[in-house]
Amino acid sequence: MIGDLAKRMIGSRRGMVLAAILLAGALLGAPPAVVAQQVPADETGVMPDAAAVAPDAAAVMPDAAAVAPDAAAVTPDAAAADPATAAKVQTLGDGDQKLFLVDHHGTWSMHAENVTTEQIFRLWSENGGPQITTKSLLDRPYTLSVHRLEPERIVERVLEGYSYTLHYDADARLERVRVYSLSPTAMFKTPRLVETLGKWKEVETAAPAAAPEPVPVEVPAEGVPAAEPATP
């Protein structure tokens, strides 16, 4: 039996070693030793590279920066989200002929105390308001304190008693006001101040009030009559 085993194992170098060990054990009368054999990955007897067997952990684990987006990119800029920060009070003119102006992009806020009509329109047109052309001297003083009015409404107030025409651009924006003359029968009195400059600035720089939350309306299910309102 040992001879047959030796013949089957003689075909390879490793088999020849095992055959010699078994033959020696048989001659000495000792039981055959159990030899642990490490099976290689291929016939060349070279063990595979551990790096090739175990994939790279860095390639398996995703990049934390790629998984978690940048917080700065997700969070919007608070200053850009608040439209109230864009409003800026402009102080125009000097001495007692100052005009305080805020451009609300479509509407205007304005405060003036005994400022000549010509000065009001000149400072306004130089800072985004409509252009004024006139054939009359606009030297009468005017006082007003308004918030977020359309330019047409401001022109209507300041040019009370004058005849004028309004001219618009291609975007329907008031572009020019042509003033002709003061009506002979026009009675004009300088308006009284209804709001102090401090109060006007406080209103313009205050944060806008939050919009009221909508009141939910209960809709009755189909076939169910609506509840009658409670009578006092």
User: pLDDT tens across 1-41, in order?
Assistant: 545 554 555 555 565 656 566 666 655 655 554 444 444 55
Number of domains in the chain: 2
pLDDT at res. 146: 95
The domain of 8 spans 2-40
Same domain, 201 and 97: yes
Of 44, 29, 40, 35, the closest CA to residue 9 belongs to: 35
| Biggest CA-to-CA distance, the chain | 147
Mean pLDDT for the stretch of residues 157-174: 93
71 found inside a domain: no
Pair 89, 29 in one domain: no
pLDDT digits (tens, 9 = 90+) for 137-165: 888 899 999 999 999 999 999 998 899 99
Provide φ and ψ at 6, rounded to 5°.
-65, -35
Q: Let me know whether 94 and 22 are in one domain.
A: no
89-106 per-residue burial string, b: 16 or more CB within 10 A, e: under 16: eeebbeeebbbbbbbeee
* Cβ–Cβ < 8 Å for 36, 59: no
pLDDT at 65: 46
Determine, yes or no, domain membership for 140: yes
Does one domain contain both 108 and 167?
yes
Nearest one of 167, 177, 181 to 135, comparing CA atoms: 181
